Amino acid sequence: MKLGKWARLFLAAAPLLSGCKGFWDVPSGSGGSGGGGTTSGVFYVLNQKTAQIAAYTIASGSTTLTAVTNSPYSLGTTVPYTMAISPNGGFLYVGTVVGIFVYSVGSDGALTILNGGQVITSDFAFTMQVDASGSWLIDAVSGIGAVNAIPLDPTTGLVLSGATEESVTVPSTAVRRVTITQAGAPNPYVFVAMGSGGTAVIPFTATSSTNPFGTVSVIKPINTTTGGSIAVAVDLSRQLLYVGETVAVSGSNPGGLRVFAIGANSTMSEISGSPYPSGGVGPGAILPTSNYVYVANSSVTGSSTGNIQGFAVTTTGTVYSLTSVSTIAAGLTTIAMEEENTGTYLLAVNSGGGPDLNVFTFDTTTAGKLDSYTTASTGSDPVQPVAVVAVP
């Protein structure tokens, strides 16, 4: 799909809209391990302003980042927007203004560009995720009312030979985030946050040899006049959909987290108590862990920084409920979160800096509570980080 004619529109909107949580499968850390005594897994930060992929680990006992071999990786003059990693951790996809590049991931996290350094598709991906089978790369572009499915060869990371990219039309061009249900989900879907257009619900058949998308339906935002869906994520084990909406609750910080039980035939049932106040104005990133879900607010009324609100997720029979467990300050315009694969560190990137990266650990006394561990620059500032992903 050729999307170059939309480039100027997306460049203007980019600081507010970029890929991050919700575009990849999250590691299964328990959210209660403490931190500081464990070497982290490899993670990648996408710096938009400097067009670089910065790859890091955190050494045991250290509060500084350790760069992976040859990091940072330059994208030249190509402006990047989003990243996604394959479920097996073998391939990293980077969406840019000219299309999507793919890298192989070495055992130490080092990246090697594939496909002769050429894009695998000219889609101007603004948000994307690889499905659990590794067979489809789902991308969407703000300004285009469509979601695309690129067929992949899971063994090479490249486009499947002889296969064709597929698309489905969605009823809004204000695409913000995309996410996919987990492996083995009884009712598999793609979900798309579409701003004031609400949240698209798209049945998804990964085993299809043709178009994997079904008929699109929409969850309308609570406030259809001034509110909108800006983040989506799915629970790691429960059949729950999380939606971050603006103007969803009353008060000076009206951001809200809506929670839906995922059913068959595109039936999404909002749980009792939803929406839950997110503690800020713009709940733009959502990170589920095994028993908790964290919501990053890009701004907070009365504060110069954003924050992260944590909730415990409880299941009683077939009834789900959320309970607030902690709130902690983050940086300016927190735009993406990830949990690295040891389950020790929660990573949050801030496109406005102050700092580029917050690293949190999980409190050893209060389950689910975040503790500030360290902060870091992810390049020669200003770098404007817009995405973070971790090797599973």
pLDDT digits (tens, 9 = 90+) for 156-195: 999 999 999 999 999 999 999 999 999 999 999 999 999 9
Q: Give the pLDDT mean for 113-117.
A: 98
SS (H, E, C) the chain: CCCHHHHHHHHHHHHHCCCCCCCCCCCCCCCCCECCCCCCCCEEEEECCCCEEEEEEECCCCCCEEECCCCCEECCCCCEEEEEECCCCCEEEEEECCEEEEEEECCCCCEEECHHHCCCECCCCCEEEECCCCCEEEEECCCCCEEEEEEECCCCCCECCCCCCEEEECCCCCCCEEEECCCCCCCCEEEEECECCCEEEEEECCCCCCCCECCCEEECCCCCCCCEEEEEEECCCCCEEEEEEECCCCCCCCCEEEEEEECCCCCEEECCCCCEECCCCCEEEEEECCCEEEEEECCCCCCCCCEEEEEEEEEECCEEEEEEEEEEECCCCEEEEEECCCCCEEEEEECCCCCCEEEEEECCCCCCCEEEEEEECCCCCCCCEEEEEECC
Q: Give the pLDDT mean for 245-274.
A: 98
Write the CB contacts of 193 (distance below 8 Å, at least 6 apart in sequence).
175, 176, 177, 178, 199, 229, 230, 231, 232, 243, 244
pLDDT at 50 over 80: yes
Of the chain, the percentage scoring pLDDT greater than 90 comes to 90
- Position 94 scores a pLDDT of 98
pLDDT at 285 over 70: yes
Q: Which residues of 155-190 are buried (b: 16+ CB within 10 A; e: fewer)?
A: eebebeeebebbbbebebbbbbbbbbbbeeeeebbb
Q: Give the pLDDT mean for 116-144.
A: 96
Distance CA 28, CA 125 (A): 27
pLDDT at 356 over 70: yes
- Position 98 scores a pLDDT of 97
pLDDT at 243 over 50: yes
pLDDT at 213 over 80: yes
Distance CA 92, CA 235 (A): 22
pTM of the model: 0.92
Distance CA 335, CA 92 (A): 19
Least confident range from 11-20, 92-101, 305-314, 353-362: namely 11-20
Cα Rg, the chain, nearest whole Å: 19
Q: Give the pLDDT mean for 18-26.
A: 35
- Position 142 scores a pLDDT of 86
Q: Which residues of 44-68 are buried (b: 16+ CB within 10 A; e: fewer)?
A: bbbbbbbbbbbbbbbeeeeeebeeb
pLDDT at 358 over 50: yes
Distance CA 356, CA 371 (A): 17
- Position 2 scores a pLDDT of 39
pLDDT at 232 over 50: yes
Q: For residue 389, what are its two tokens?
A: 């992903």
Give me the amino acid identity at 210: T
- Position 5 scores a pLDDT of 35
- Position 36 scores a pLDDT of 61
Average pLDDT, the chain: 92
Largest pairwise CA distance in the chain = 55
Q: Give the pLDDT mean for 363-376.
A: 97
Distance CA 257, CA 324 (A): 11
Angle at 387 between CA 291 and CA 161, to 5 degrees: 95
Q: Which of 377, 296, 336 is nearest to 127 (CA)?
A: 336
pLDDT at 58 over 90: yes
- Position 14 scores a pLDDT of 45
- Position 17 scores a pLDDT of 41
- Position 181 scores a pLDDT of 98
Of the chain, the percentage scoring pLDDT greater than 70 comes to 91
Q: Give the pLDDT mean for 37-46.
A: 94
pLDDT at 1 over 70: no
pLDDT at 23 over 80: no
Distance CA 344, CA 34 (A): 6
- Position 35 scores a pLDDT of 54
Least confident range from 5-9, 43-47, 220-224: namely 5-9
